[in-house]
Amino acid sequence: MFIETKRGLRITGFVGYLDWAEVLVEKLNKLREQGSNSEIVTLVRNLIYIDTLARRCRYPEEISFRIYEGEFGQDAIKALKYAQQFFVKHNYSLVLEESGAQGWLERYTVPAEYHGSLPKVHKDTIVSGDAYWLPLAVWKAAVGGQLSRIRECRHCQKWFLSKRIRQNYCSAGCRQQAFRATPTGKRKRAAYMRAYRLKNPNAR
């Protein structure tokens, strides 16, 4: 999928449709297992943060302008700047390569000097032994409206695909454990255990 050119660029193209959100969740969890807090993880977190702000406002026009005006605070400005400058920083260039029956074929160019600038991924990735495609997968998921499905569990930090807009935990078990750690959850648990011991005096 990569082609070396005389100018030292590496070109890649994506063919057909992929569920980019599903692909990203799998790879983000692999990075998590490796203990890697890479630029990709930061990029996805910032994009999800901005998308959440926009969704709460029902995706108004000129949301980026309102963010830069400071309406949503400095964290939003930093997140948007990081996301917008990421692909410029790494010199990704989008090219319309040729026309086809299903539309134009997209290709992306990446300077050879950035080879290895992203974490290496295991050989079972789309591009064997190379992680250039990961930022492009983020791009495709964001533009295709798939990024809003990606969540990071608030309890175990595992990445997952949400089934509901307000889903913040990857499982019922994580949601329950997170609730038990809150003051309300602790009070309810303590009350339950007191009632249980009264009913079962021989229980330990």
For residues 66 and 72, what is the distance between their CA atoms, to the nearest angstrom? 8
- pLDDT by residue (tens digit) across 109-132? 665 555 554 444 443 333 333 456
Extract long-range pairs of 154-158: CB within 8 Å, 24+ residues apart.
154/178, 157/32, 158/29, 158/32
pLDDT at position 93 is: 76
Q: How far is CA 51 from CA 38, 88, 183, 187, in A?
A: 20, 20, 30, 35
* CB atoms closer than 10 angstroms to residue 104: 11
Residue 164 Rama label (left phi>0; alpha psi -120 to 50; beta):
beta
- pTM beyond 0.95: the answer is no
- pLDDT by residue (tens digit) across 11-42? 444 434 458 888 889 989 988 888 876 888 99
